[in-house]
Structure 1
């Protein structure tokens, strides 16, 4: 793969880095500790066309690929991971509509999603269907000209601000699994928020459990063919956003550690001049570079339609999220006691990084994906 970004990709990176420095970092701590959704930031991204980054140009988006998605999410997550998460989840729903929806659905939803006037959320996981989505209990039964949905969804991020949820439900018998699940576009107003978690990470974009009973959904809200929703998801490649978020955190952790090590003096010299700190910073830099290269490689493979893209994404997800945890932990150590306070961002980096080792599937599940691929070679 060409590991050097193109001129256009570097221009995008620089645009988002400037935006993050000016619009995200100054308010990141306030938003995080108040648990406030970054509406203003996302509106600014909408003004720049970023909320339609991977949506096709014919629907008002920028029509860009996974490499551009990775570049964008890294830059935003270096400022506040929740911003990267909110944008990536929204674009993931749009990708499903564009890839599997009807032309009518694409015309109705995608232009407004590109402008962030319609915000998407994902309703996939359940209390007993985390890594194993075939265990979901939500069912959709035929109801005249539509479907009647009963069940719940857990970890529905963005739901408070979203307009529509891409909600998955079983429409066929258990023996047909995994080809017994369908996806529906459901207005958030039709869902009841039963519980909102007070999580230790990603506080600006809270996640909730939603419930519904005998919810009527018209036939024309089904996205894709009946029973194919889980298998369809395997064709979506936006999962590279997760390691990209982690790369952003890992890089931000390194950046603040370098600054603090140059400013903080002990025993008559900056602590960054002690070899133990120098080596720690060097290891942090190595983690950032290897995590970024793995993530870009996975993104480029996905853009090419490479059969190994899913395996590469799992590799990147494991490596990058664990690199982010290690870098955030090292940054806290470099900062000493103040690193454990909210006066500095490193404690947020650690909380957000640890969340990413679970989000999008626990890392051990992704290790299984890689192991299966290796064993089958």
Structure 2
């Protein structure tokens, strides 16, 4: 768990930013369902929107552990910001990993600064946990592709300027494309009204005879699903990291509250059952953190089973975040059920961590496959 001096310095920087800049605006952003764009621009100035962009294209090109740490600390501020950043970084990862030199030079330098904002369009109404069932098609006509279909639950759907899209180029072939948002025929649907993560921009995207040149294809035909799964392994570590940050935020809020709240002649932190709850919250947060850091370290170990490690971390950290935020709300009593305290927002936000980037059930499937050595 030991961090390098550079990693520790970045952690301190982002934690301070989360405390001083993100947390003060988090509740209002949630209540108004408006993403805090000033925070985004500030993150760009800190080079935190180019974490998966190589240095030669103006990025930060972080190591996997540093990327995990940044996601954890951003989620400590608010999950809505951390989610937007991680999805933007998924898009830049796809371009950096699979794009041509021309595509990298066109998109990455500006995306490293945060504008244009990236979106990642994989899920559909009938193809969430099983992307192979997607219905969106990309038919080649000469030197162009014509795209038709609908994508669902797209983070940065309204805010984005460039979309990394996955579509079928044949009955069993999924291919990856990069599409400018202003392309005719690409439209944004109404924003989703969500239980939590309310400041995050989540919309459907529709493609109605969207024409793009062949040069906008990121992967050879039929290799898009494999590319998506490799990118999503890193994405699952990011969500695990965010789950840890969310849990830590709830734990810190609970520690502060029980130390100040007095009942029966003293702070409720003196009550044994409260102390046991705090101990349980700490253990679950730390367990998620250790699994997540381990998974991040496997990313650069060719002998490691990174998919299993990533799914284990994501499964445990997200489920633990649900438990920890629930305990934090309970310790706040009636106050925890009101918007006067942040724990009700943390509780609502935690629920999505067990769903996106693969549900807990999907993570269990991946873990079992790895444990049983089924490839």
TM-score of the superposition, structure 1-length normalised? 0.96
Match of 1:195 among 169, 179, 190: 190
Counterpart for residue 185 of structure 1: 178
Counterpart for residue 138 of structure 1: 136
Post-superposition shift, 1:189? 2.6
Q: Is the 8 A contact 2:268 2:274 kept in 1?
A: yes
Match of 2:159 among 134, 158, 161: 161
Q: Is the 8 A contact 1:36 1:205 kept in 2?
A: yes
Counterpart for residue 314 of structure 1: 311
RMSD: 1.1
Match of 1:238 among 234, 240, 254: 234
User: Separation in 2 of the partners of 1:101 and 1:374?
Assistant: 33
User: Separation in 1 of the partners of 2:121 and 2:228?
Assistant: 13
Q: Is the 8 A contact 2:192 2:203 kept in 1?
A: yes
User: Separation in 2 of the partners of 1:231 and 1:80?
Assistant: 31
User: Separation in 2 of the partners of 1:325 and 1:200?
Assistant: 14
Counterpart for residue 297 of structure 2: 300
| Cα-to-partner distance string for 1:119-174 (whole Å, 9 max, x where unaligned) | 100110001101111100011111231100010000111011110111111001x2
Post-superposition shift, 1:288? 1.0
| Cα-to-partner distance string for 1:234-287 (whole Å, 9 max, x where unaligned) | 332422110011001110010000000000001111011100000100110101
Counterpart for residue 375 of structure 1: 372
Q: Is the 8 A contact 1:67 1:303 kept in 2?
A: no
The runs of at least 4 aligned residues of structure 1 exceeding 4 Å deviation read none
- The secondary structure found in structure 2 opposite 1:253 is helix
Q: Is the 8 A contact 2:234 2:310 kept in 1?
A: no
| Cα-to-partner distance string for 1:13-61 (whole Å, 9 max, x where unaligned) | 0000111111001111011111111211111111111111221111111
Match of 1:124 among 92, 117, 122: 122
Which structure 2 residues correspond to residues 259-338 of structure 1 after superposition, within 5 A?
Answer: 259-338=256-335
Call closer, same or farther: CA 1:154–1:196 in 2, change over 3 Å: same
User: Separation in 2 of the partners of 1:120 and 1:364?
Assistant: 28
User: Separation in 2 of the partners of 1:19 and 1:306?
Assistant: 36
TM-score of the superposition, structure 2-length normalised? 0.97
User: Separation in 2 of the partners of 1:310 and 1:350?
Assistant: 28
Runs of 5+ consecutive residues of structure 2 not aligned to the other structure = none
Match of 2:209 among 209, 214, 219: 214
Counterpart for residue 87 of structure 2: 89
- Larger mean Cα displacement after TM superposition, 51-60 or 260-269: 51-60
Runs of 5+ consecutive residues of structure 1 not aligned to the other structure = none
User: Separation in 2 of the partners of 1:168 and 1:307?
Assistant: 28
| Cα-to-partner distance string for 1:170-203 (whole Å, 9 max, x where unaligned) | 001x2xx3xx011111122332123321001111
Q: Is the 8 A contact 1:159 1:188 kept in 2?
A: no
- The secondary structure found in structure 1 opposite 2:332 is helix
Q: Is the 8 A contact 2:82 2:242 kept in 1?
A: yes
User: Separation in 2 of the partners of 1:320 and 1:188?
Assistant: 34
Counterpart for residue 74 of structure 1: 72
- The secondary structure found in structure 1 opposite 2:72 is helix
User: Separation in 1 of the partners of 2:291 and 2:368?
Assistant: 17
| Cα-to-partner distance string for 1:177-236 (whole Å, 9 max, x where unaligned) | 3xx011111122332123321001111112111112111011111112111010122332
Q: Is the 8 A contact 1:181 1:228 kept in 2?
A: yes
Post-superposition shift, 1:305? 3.5
Counterpart for residue 341 of structure 1: 338
| Cα-to-partner distance string for 1:304-333 (whole Å, 9 max, x where unaligned) | 244411100000011000110000000001
- The secondary structure found in structure 2 opposite 1:52 is coil
- Larger mean Cα displacement after TM superposition, 232-241 or 317-326: 232-241
